[in-house]
Structure 1
Amino acid sequence: MMAFIYHSKCQSASSRHATMLSILLLLSVAAISSCLGHNDIGENNNYHAKPAEEIIRCIESERKALLAIQSDMYDPGNWLSSWNNDDCCKWRGVTCDNTTGGHVTTLDLRYPYSTDYYDIIGASKVNPSLLELKHLKYLDLSMNNFDGAHIPKMIALLVHLEYLNLSYASFSGLIPPQLGNLSSLRRLDLGRDYDLRADDLDWLSRIPSLEYLDMSGVNLSQATSWLFQINSIPTLQVLLLSYTQLPPVSSPVPPFNLISLSMLDLSFYQHFTDSLLRLFSNGSRSLEYLDLSSNGLTGDFASARSLEYLDLSGNQIVGEIPPTVRNLVHLEYLDLSNNNITGQLPQTMGNLQNLGYLFLDNNFIIGEIPETMGRLFNLRVLDISNNHLRGQMPRTLGGLCKLINLDLSDNNVDGELTYLFDGLLSNCPQGAKISYLNLEANHLSGMIPASMGHLSQLEEVYLSSNSLLGDITESHFSNLTNLEYLNISHNFLNVILPNDWCPPFNASSIDMSFCHIVGKFPDWIRTQMNLKELYLSRVGLSGNLPPWFSEYVEATSLEVLVLSSNHFNGCQELVSLDLSENKFSGEIPTWVGISLSSLKVLCLRSNRFQGVIPINLASLTSLQVLDISSNNLFGSIPSSIGNFSSLIKIQNGTLEFYDVIYSIFRFHPRPTPLGTFYKESILVTAKGYYSTRLSLVTSIDLSNNNLSGEIPKELRKLRGLLFLNLSKNHLNGEITETVGDMKQLESLDLSVNNLIGVIPLSLSALDFLSYLNLSHNNLSGRIPTGPHLSTLNVDPSIYVGNKDLCGIPLPPCPGDAASPVQPDTRDEYEEEKNSEKLEELVEFAAVALGFVVGFWSYIGVIIVKQSTRIALFRLIDRSCDWIYVLLAVKSSKLKSKWQMMT
């Protein structure tokens, strides 16, 4: 009876199961509905049908009512655009019935757009004019957004209703028990309105013909008699109560009365018991669909022979799969994943000839895969991943021509792939259907047969972490036009692909890490314009990255690029490397500290790097800006960080900082002079904010990681450091007294760590310090004072979160004299600023006066004394002549060289 479909796009096991469950549930509901004479998806149902020869005219009062209803419906796509003529019986979603005198009997206002669009849908209202449609039998308001409104009680006055669908409509509040007055109702769907609740289900007993009930997601936590009340509806065929927070069933359990039940979903019901399982699985001989996933079941196994769909995933079922599973001969879907099942797979599973979907992943199953699995010729999905299977894959799997998804990953399966690939090709004259193949993390050996290239439906191939060997050539991919995900990493493979090879696929993810790529960096990568992830770690590549690579990275949507543990070179002249705010992962490559010897700026901020800070970063002797903040780095700060020689030098009171822009963009006519400012995309975190102004800047930012240990004393060597940010880590120990040796420090942020002890007095010796943040640590004792710290101590927020700190600007320390009133440091600061301004003004006036006196003294001599004036002008003439001759000679030499070159 049921039809099942499958689609996989690199989903996790759980998401694939959820997708399948939704699809299967929808198809099952549609199938059962068609048996009942209802269909809520299309318009071709009993309520819409009318004889073609009959002419039905719209009733004017109902036409006006429909227009009023339309006015309150959110309709940006004009899906009700047909509601503009006189005959409302021809409007979309409206059906009239001549047997009722031409009255409207069907109103289908289900929102027709995709769920993505539904997420941002505007609000609608249920217009009171709905009551004018007194002969309605079919009402569908699903997939709209009624913005948390209560279900209108007036719907209970539409006494002829046989079909009512209010699902996914954002209703809230108490379900009106007046719905029990709809005695003709056969189908009631209130599912997925997660803010609805029902404290009692007694009103359902007044609907004697109810066949379909969906209250999934409704809060039924107060409905203590739910089973007794639902059990009183013998006509019920479909019961969907997942995610409803149902309370436990009181004993004794009533005799089973739902003799017509064919579909039951009680998933995510934490009070389900084995006695309830026996009640439902044995009570109805017509039960075909049973979903009891995530219920905490520990034993027993559903045994209803009529079952076609059985989902017991996410429980705590222990023990072996019973041999009696062979009795479920009608089963098409079986999901026992995420349990505690042990033992071997029973040979009798081969008797389930109708089985199309089998999920046994994430259990503790041992032994070999039985040969009888090869008799499941209708199997489309087989997932036995993450178990303890061993032995070889049975050759019979090569005969499963309908197989779409095969996942045996994370087991101990050994043997070769030849029988599987060659079997699928030789046994399936109409072509193998397999599109998802995951055999990673096993003990497979031998070569990957070139016949893989003829499995043309393959979209995802995962063969990593095995013992596969041999060569991978273009024949392995000859017909893989649909390939999107390829992972052959951690094997003993030689990838031999010619540089001019043009792959037939356009992949999203390629991982060949820990294989051996023969030759230079593969040029065929540049054809993969959809690539989001590229892993080529430890593949034996060396030499230069190709010149096209940087443009390729910029032109594609590449999110993850891992080239670590290779032997690339050719970047010795690179001055600035900024890879910030991407999704790079893995460890920071060690070659950064070895190959990029000229690097002055290294910015890896806001990525997903992990591991420890490489010790050899200290080999970057020219480095002046290091920003690896906002990653997942751990471990201690290496002591070698104190060896950055460019951060140690101080020349004539100023720092050496070269023009990074000039070094990168060679077409600039001349370097920017030292002392001027320029803007670049590199951000330096300084003084509590991000700055794009880099001039005479030296900075280290390791903030927002998981670094631990003490602050290395070797930092004291960095006498040229201006900005130091170690905040938001797990650093401990004391702030070293030698911090005062970093005389040029302007910004120091050690906040949000686990630092202890007192604040060192040497901080007061940092004359240039203008930003300090020590908040949220475990510091104690008196806050040091000094002529310079007094300007910082006006802001108590820089010390908050240290409960044992005291002194200005925090509360006084114990024993401090209470009588003397501390001077207002803010007033002192303002007075000092005003004094400095006055001094600057006096200095400026003195310089200006000196310039005026000196200038006019010199000019006066020239004006008064003729001999001096003549000597000056002769000097200027000779200088101009000398410059002209020099330029002429240089120009002549350049012309000669140019002619020789051309």
Structure 2
Amino acid sequence: MELKRFIKLMNLLLFIFSLCMKPTSVSASGEVMCIERERQALLKFKRGLIDDGDILSSWGSGKDKRECCNWVGIKCNNESGHVIQLDLNQLYAYQLRGKVSPALLELQHLNYLDLSGFDFGGSQIPKFIGYIKNLTDLNLRNSNFTGNVPCQLGNLTNLVRLNLNGNNGLRVKNIEWLSRLSSLKYLDLTGVNLNETNWLPQIMKLRLLNILTLSDCQLHDNTLSAIDFVNSSFSSLYYLDLSKNYLTSSFTFQWLFNFTRYANRVDLSRNQLDGPIPDAFGELISLDELNLKENMLHGGIPKSLGNLSFYSVDISKNNLNKPLVELFHNLSETYTSTLDLSYNQLSGPFPDITRFSYLIELRLNNNHLRGFIPQSLGQASSIENLYLSHNQIGGKLLSNLSVFSQLEGLYVDSNSMEGTITEDHLSNLAKLVELDLSFNSLYLKLRSDWVPPFQLDVLRLKHCNLGHHFPKWLQTQYGLYELDMSFASISDTLPNWLWSLPSLEWLNLSHNNIGGRMPDLSSEFHFHKFTDLSYNNLSGPIPLYAFRSMEVQLSKNMLSGSISHICRISYSIDIKILDLSDNQLSGELPDCWMNKTDHLIVLNLANNRFCGKIPYTLGALDQLQTLHLRNNSLIGDLPSSLRKCMELRIIDLGENKLTGNIPAWIGTHLRNLSIVSLRFNKFQGNIPPTICQLTNIQILDLSRNNLSGKILQCLNNFTSMVQRNSSAESTEFIDPDDKYFPSTIMLHRYFDNILVQWKGKESEHGKLGLVKGIDLSSNKLVGTIPQQFSDMRSLVFLNLSRNHLTGNIISNIGQMETLEWLDLSRNHLSGEIPNSLALLHFLSVLDLSYNNLTGKIPLSTQLQSFNSSAYAGNNQLCGLPLVECPEDAHGPVVTDHGNGNSVEEDDKFITREFYICMAFGFITGFWAIVCTLYLKHSWRSTYFNFWKNIGDWTCVTMAIYVRRFKRKFQG
């Protein structure tokens, strides 16, 4: 009896348990809750994807995978079993790519679709998504969609949230479909081009919006009218982001104050808002975050803002130009915790901020503040982060700085601070996390046994005076992540304890006088992200541990020995930048790059003593963008493996002993090259025609080789030399881990330089974006100068000297209007100097010497200003600054000045007596004409019309005769 009761009780419990279980599991009878039609649709969707990470391994046709409601990213209805959610967001999708299958139309009960983070290869958003009519959430963020947003999305009338953020190739031509989404509460179209739409009236119809983000949508307000925002107040909108657009002050502010009356966060940063900040901001009674950063606003802060209790205000990078004291007077004293007025033109003394009892962070850097920091600043005990850099605040650092007991970040870099920092200044700053005193005249005098009350994450003391020795108190900073003591007058040796700081990842000790050897502490050294010991006096070999950093910069030292021991590392190194230039390193280059540094972006070994061949394995660096091997003793041909380095932008192999032909694959494979320097080697043969495929090239230096053949006529394919645009001056990469340390630099930059023959002297150029030129000098090139050179209008220098070129200087050379340096010397050029050369107004260095040029040097202020050596060695060339041409004294000469005006010159009858008579006759005739014209109106009119018509001819003629007149008397 008891057993029967027990069995009944267990059956009852099992029944209750089965009711509570999710229907996505297989029932006791083996029934699958997943609807077969929808399961097949999901499998078709999967077949359209490439799943590199096997993210969708749970999706399949096997018996153990029949229950699609258990698949990753899938959620079914608890009762019907219909698929209601497909959520493959960025947690999974970073390895998913392909296309969206129309099989999703079978999921008509789907209300949540998240495909964010996919890579759909620039395809268009499928129109059929607009027919999954039960959708309430559609998230296609960062999915690499391009083209027009389909108007069929307007069918999704149940949609509550729509996110198309991060698809920068998307655009909308007709936005009327958006107004049909009457249930929409969340709309994010960041990066979608709305430039062709009348966007505002359609947005106004979405009365339930809570969050609206239209950042970087190319919005303009010049098409808006007052009727667009009549009765437009939204009581539900609390977040508005219109940043990174082209909004001005014309209508934007007018509709904004109605549209966002109840908003608590408004972001209008990075627009073109001009004029003063309107008083109407004070009517936004719920506003607690306001971002007007990077506009053109001027004046001050309106008094009406004093009625609001802000949490955060950012008006940085504008043109605010009122005294800072006045601005602070108009702000609310309560609840303002973050205030950023940096990068403006604020003037006057530092104000009293003690009344701002909740102020935590204050940024006033990069303004025009003057005077001294008041002692009352020390009473603002709530301050945690203070930025006063790049002003003209002088004086000593506050003696009572320690009263800032809540201070977490102190930034006073780039001021005129002076004096000595002692323990008393820092004794009470127990919460200090970041300290930046850079670019001041401060001397840190701290006891060697001092133990700080704080634990720093960031310490920047750039250009401070730390004395000759390393501060020993740094040994107590176990959490120190970033340490910058560059330009700090340190002349010590590197201490061993420096490498054992457990959290240190950013170390900059450059531009000191640190000497001695780098200690060999490979067992104690942990991974660094950034190590810069450049511009010191370090000597000896480079220890192995030094290569355990993301950026290794050891240039401008006296390091010696080989670096082949890098091959002994048994693991892959995560180096992105390796700069060992300007040392005394020797031996052959390592030949083990294939497994060690596959993330390397910059390799700079220039100005050392390396020998041997360029290793073949260097071609394994498929991420390499910059390669500097200049001024070593490298020999042999260029290894063909370098063709695999297709990301290369800069290749500098000059001043070596490299031989062979310039390979054709430089043009066919390395299409991103912007700088090619193979100067001062032993290359021979013709310049390969494929080099014309380098459309991004801005410096091509093949000088001082043994190249032969003709100059290519396709060089005008160099688009960057034809068009006026600037080029990147730095190699950049982003370290994603820096997001955990927002105070550090997230964008890493490496500034390249290149050695070129510039205006007759060898010099290194760091402003690569401004220098564009071609140097083919000191070779064995023959033939004529191609006329196509004249198409390169942004060329800054051209050096074809010391070749065997023949023919004329190209007639339309004047079209190269940015040319500053032209050297065609020591060739066999003939004919006259083209008159268009006089149109090169920026030309500062010219050398046409030792050719076979004939005729007269064209007259211009520019060409006559050069020294006679610029024209030397052309025996049949005459005219200033050389000897006078025979026709100048004995015959007429017709001179074309490049503007269509020709002037006949004939001065064989001109003598000194002629000029005296001409002057007397001019004075007499001038007054006679003036008197006559004064009396007779009709004659006066005819006279002035006559001179108006021939004015240009007269000016040119008189200029020539005046020059001759001076020459006659000087002679």
- For residues 395 and 569 of structure 1, do their structure 2 counterparts lie closer, same or farther at Cα, with a shift above 3 Å needed? closer
Of residues 722, 730, 733, the one that matches 2:758 is 730
Cα–Cα, structure 1 residues 444 and 552, in superposed 2: closer, same or farther, change >3 Å? farther
- Tell me the equivalent position of 1:334: 313
Partner of 1:164: helix, strand, or coil?
strand
Tell me, yes or no, if the aligned pair for 2:149 and 2:171 is still in contact at 8 Å: yes
Sort the Cα spacing of 1:436 and 1:59 in 2 relative to 1 into closer, same or farther, 3 A: farther
Name the structure 1 match of 2:632: 683
Q: Is the 8 A contact 1:393 1:415 kept in 2?
A: yes
Cα distance, 1:288 vs structure 2? 1.7
Report the residue type matching 1:778 in the other structure.
Answer: D
Kindly state the Cα deviation for residue 514 of structure 1 after the two structures are TM-superposed: 4.3
Cα displacement string for residues 246-298 of structure 1 (whole angstroms, at most 9, x for unaligned residues): 34324344215251322222112214334311321244321122111111111
Quote the Cα distance in structure 2 between the aligned partners of 1:608 and 1:547.
16
Distance 1:503 1:222, change over 3 A: closer
Q: In 1, are the aligned partners of 2:314 and 2:339 still within 8 Å (CA)?
A: yes
- Tell me how far 1:413 sits from its aligned partner: 2.7
CA distance in 2, matches of 1:315, 1:353: 26
Pairs within 5 Å for 1:514-663: 514-515=488-489, 522=495, 524-527=497-500, 530=504, 533-535=507-509, 537=511, 545-546=516-517, 548=519, 559-564=531-536
Provide the rounded CA distance (Å) in 2 between the counterparts of 1:485 and 1:105: 52
Aligned pair partner of 1:155 in 111, 129, 132: 129
What corresponds to 1:172 in structure 2? 146
Deviation readout 1:818-874 (Å, 9 max, x if unpaired): xxxxxxxxxxxxxxxxxxxxxxxxxxxxxxxxxxxxxxxxxxxxxxxxxxxxxxxxx
Contact 1:440 1:462 in 2 (8 A): no
1:527-548 CA deviation, whole Å, 9 max, x = no partner?
4585654436456x7xx61473
Distance of aligned partners of 1:681 and 1:412 in 2 relative to their CA distance in 1, 3 Å threshold: closer
**CA contact under 8 A between 1:198 and 1:218: conserved in structure 2?**
yes
- What's the CA shift string for 1:224-247, capped at 9, x where partnerless? x21122222222232211111234
CA contact (8 A) 1:730 1:754 kept: no
Q: Which residue in the other structure is 1:486 paired with? A: 460
Indicate whether 1:68 and 2:44 are aligned: yes
The superposition leaves residues 313-347 of structure 1 with CA deviations (integer Å, 9 ceiling, x where unpaired) of: 11011112223221221x22211111111122333
Cα distance, 1:378–1:418 mapped onto 2, change above 3 Å: closer
Distance 1:243 1:150 in 2: 20
Q: What TM-score do you get using the length of structure 2 for normalisation? A: 0.52
Q: 2:91 aligns to what SS in structure 1? A: coil
Partner of 2:294: 314
In the superposition, relative to structure 1, how do residues 453 and 129 fare at CA in structure 2: closer, same or farther (>3 Å)? Answer: farther
The correspondence for 2:823, drawn from 778, 792, 797, is 778
What is the CA–CA distance in structure 2 between the aligned matches of 1:64 and 1:660, rounded to whole Å?
64
Cα distance in 2 for partners of 1:694, 1:438 equals: 51
Distance 1:538-1:691 versus aligned 2 partners, 3 A rule: closer
- Alignment of 1:128 with 2:102, yes or no, is yes
- Shift in Å, 1:524: 4.1
Deviation at 1:482, TM superposition (A): 4.1
Equivalent residues of 2:494, 2:518 under 8 A apart: no
Q: TM-score, normalised by structure 1?
A: 0.56
Letter in 2 for 1:561: L
The alpha-carbon distance between structure 1 residues 58 and 402, as it changes in their structure 2 partners (threshold 3 A), is farther
Q: Which residue in 1 is equivalent to 2:366?
A: 386
Q: 1:176 to 1:444 in 2, by over 3 A?
A: same
Q: Give the Å deviation of 1:125.
A: 2.2
- The 8 Å contact of residues 305 and 331 in structure 2, kept in 1 or not, is answered as no
Tell me what 2:232 maps to: 257
Give the aligned partner of residue 861 of structure 2: none
Q: Are the structure 2 counterparts of residues 660 and 142 from structure 1 closer, same or farther at C-alpha, using a change threshold of 3 Å?
A: closer
1:377 aligns with 2:405: no
**Counterparts in 2 of 1:406 and 1:94: CA distance versus 1, 3 Å:** same
1:19-418 correspondence runs (5 A): 55=23, 57-83=33-59, 85-98=65-78, 101-113=80-92, 118=94, 121-223=95-197, 225-247=198-220, 248-254=222-228, 255-259=230-234, 260-301=236-277, 302-303=281-282, 304-329=284-309, 331-345=310-324, 346-348=327-329, 351-372=332-353, 375-377=356-358, 379=360, 381-393=361-373, 398=378, 403-418=383-398
Checking the alignment, whether the CA contact within 8 Å between 2:354 and 2:379 is kept in structure 1 is no
- Give 1:164 shift: 1.3
Once the two structures are TM-superposed, the CA of residue 782 in structure 1 deviates from its matched residue by 3.9
Q: Secondary structure at the match of 1:200?
A: coil
Task: Give a deviation string over 1:592-619, Cα, whole Å, max 9, x none.
Answer: 7xx99x9xxxxxxx99899xx9xxx9xx
**Offset at 1:778?**
2.5
Give the CA deviation at 1:402. Answer: 6.4
Offset, 1:570: 9.0
Which letter does structure 2 place at the counterpart of 1:560? D
Asked if the contact 2:438–2:460 (Cα under 8 Å) also holds between the matched residues in 1, the reply is no
Once residues 733 and 494 of structure 1 are traced to their aligned partners in structure 2, the CA distance between those partners, rounded to angstroms, is 38
Q: Is the 1:479–1:504 contact (alpha carbons within 8 Å) kept by the matching residues of 2?
A: no
What is the deviation of 1:501?
A: 6.1
CA distance in 1: counterparts of 2:268 and 2:611, whole angstroms: 64
Shift of 1:476: 5.7
Describe the superposition over 1:661-699 as per-residue Cα deviations: whole angstroms up to 9, x where unpaired: 9xxxxxxxxxxxxxxxxxx9993267996699999xxxx
Aligned partner of residue 353 in structure 2, secondary structure? helix
CA change 1:688–1:498 in 2 (3 A) is same
Q: Partners in 2 of 1:500 and 1:186 — Cα distance?
A: 54
**1:469 counterpart SS class:** strand
Residue 898 of structure 1 corresponds to none
- The 1:335–1:582 alpha-carbon spacing in structure 2 relative to 1, beyond 3 Å, is closer
Q: Structure 1 pair 537/452, CA: closer, same or farther in 2 (3 Å)? A: same
Give the deviation of 1:385 after TM superposition. Answer: 1.0
In structure 1, runs of 5+ residues without a counterpart are 1-50, 572-580, 599-605, 634-657, 662-679, 712-725, 735-746, 762-775, 785-800, 808-813, 816-902
Computing the radius of gyration over CA atoms, which structure comes out larger, 1 or 2?
Answer: 1
The separation in 2 between residues aligned to 1:230 and 1:277, in whole angstroms, is 16
Q: Quick check: 2:404–2:428 contact (8 Å CA) kept in 1?
A: no
Q: CA deviation at 1:312?
A: 0.7
| 1:70 to 1:397, Cα distance in 2 relative to 1, 3 A | farther
Match of 2:773 in 1: none
8 Å Cα contact 2:276-2:300 kept in structure 1: no
Larger RCO of the pair (alpha carbons < 8 Å, separation 6+): 1
Q: Over residues 471-491 of structure 1, what are the superposed CA-to-partner deviations in whole Å (9 max), with x where a residue is unaligned?
A: 133456645544344315334
Paired residues of 2:304 and 2:330 also in contact (CA < 8 A)? no
C-alpha deviation, 1:144, in angstroms: 1.2
1:687/1:132 CA distance change after superposition, 3 Å: closer
Counterparts of 2:655 and 2:823, CA distance in 1:
33
State the 1:387 CA deviation.
Answer: 0.8
- Partner Cα distance (2:780, 2:339) in 1: 55
Structure 2's unaligned 5+ residue stretches are 1-18, 25-32, 541-549, 562-576, 589-602, 613-628, 639-652, 659-677, 682-696, 705-753, 763-776, 782-795, 806-820, 830-845, 853-873, 876-971
Q: Which has the higher strand share?
A: 2
> In 2 relative to 1, CA 691–155 (structure 1 residues): closer, same or farther, beyond 3 Å?
closer
C-alpha distance in structure 1 between counterparts of 2:495 and 2:274, whole Å: 53
How far residue 414 of structure 1 moved from its aligned partner, in angstroms, is: 3.9
Cα distance, 1:420–1:229 mapped onto 2, change above 3 Å: farther
Q: Encode CA deviations 1:118-139: one digit per residue, 9 max, x unaligned.
A: 4xx4423222221111112221
Question: What root-mean-square deviation, in Å, do the aligned CA atoms of Structure 1 and Structure 2 show?
Answer: 5.4
- Residue 362 of structure 1 aligns to a residue in which SS? coil
Distance 1:334 1:327 in 2: 14
